[in-house]
Amino acid sequence: MTDSYETVQFERTDDGLGWIELDRPDALNTITTELLDELDAVIDRCESAESVRAIYLTGAGDRAFSAGADVQSSGVMGHRKGVEHSRRGQTVFGRLKATDLPVVAGIDGYCLGGGMELSMCADLRIASDRSEFGLPEHSLGLLPGWGGTQRLQQLLGESVAKQFVFTADRFSAERMYEFGYLYDLIEAESFEEDARSFAAEIAAGPPIAQRYSKRAMRAATPSPDAGLELEAQAFGHLLDTEDLAAGISAFVTDSDPEFEGK
């Protein structure tokens, strides 16, 4: 059974998957407020359906899992709305960490900014060999505002997380596999079939054991709540800076930004 929304597609499959697909391929599946709302709604659908035993999260098309947020619209929010926007993304993404269902992210293409922050909340990540990862927010005068400052260091450690945040570099799928971020690399030509097959294998696992295993591992993780709130406040503050305006202008004109610390 397939259900259509404006920015996501949702399907309950015969092999136990709640298949969520970010569906803005012409915009590289960038994440809007509407998409956050619809993602929130389909997570509800997954959790309420007895037939769903695992969530499979992917992006439409063959260019991107998600290239992040709509940078230009974020830049005109101002402090108060920016803090609220940050908290909203943190909360919706965090639901994937909080759900008892195993979550598999299938990544083909760009996985940048908010898209990478979304992928951090999956339990297992697999990617095509052509995928690219990165947190480019510093190149705009921003910071990762949907959980990236907290969740990436939980996954990869403080040193590696700082490489992503401070350099704003992009990393290949092979490098991400070496970091331990990815469970597996798949050739692009067979990605759709192989990724779906892997997610179905997870869905076929013992649901009660999976549920309690995820709860137990989640309980061992120090609460990131204070860090997430600091991240949200910092994100809102940065939306009022001249540096952000310079960063967005440079992004639009494909030039190098000149940040003056204002």
Q: Which are the catalytic amino acids?
A: 117, 137
Residue 231 corresponds to which tokens in the numbers above? Answer: 């991240």
**H or E element at residue 2:** strand 2-4
Determine contact, residues 18/73, Cβ cutoff 8 Å: no
- Cα angle for residues 101, 106, 112 (degrees, 5° grid): 110
As a 3-state breakdown, the chain gives helix, strand, coil percent values, each rounded to 5, of 50, 20, 30
**Which residue in 180, 188, 176 sits closest to 134, CA to CA?**
176
DSSP secondary structure letters along 142-166: ---TTTHHHHHHHHH-HHHHHHHHH
**Whole-angstrom Cα distance, residue 203 to residue 79?**
41
Beta strands in 33-153 (DSSP E): 54-59, 64-66, 103-107, 110-112, 124-128, 132-134
Residue type, 63: R
**Whole-angstrom Cα distance, residue 18 to residue 199?**
10
**Alpha carbon of residue 34 to chain centroid:** 15
Beta strands in 7-109 (DSSP E): 8-12, 17-22, 54-59, 64-66, 103-107
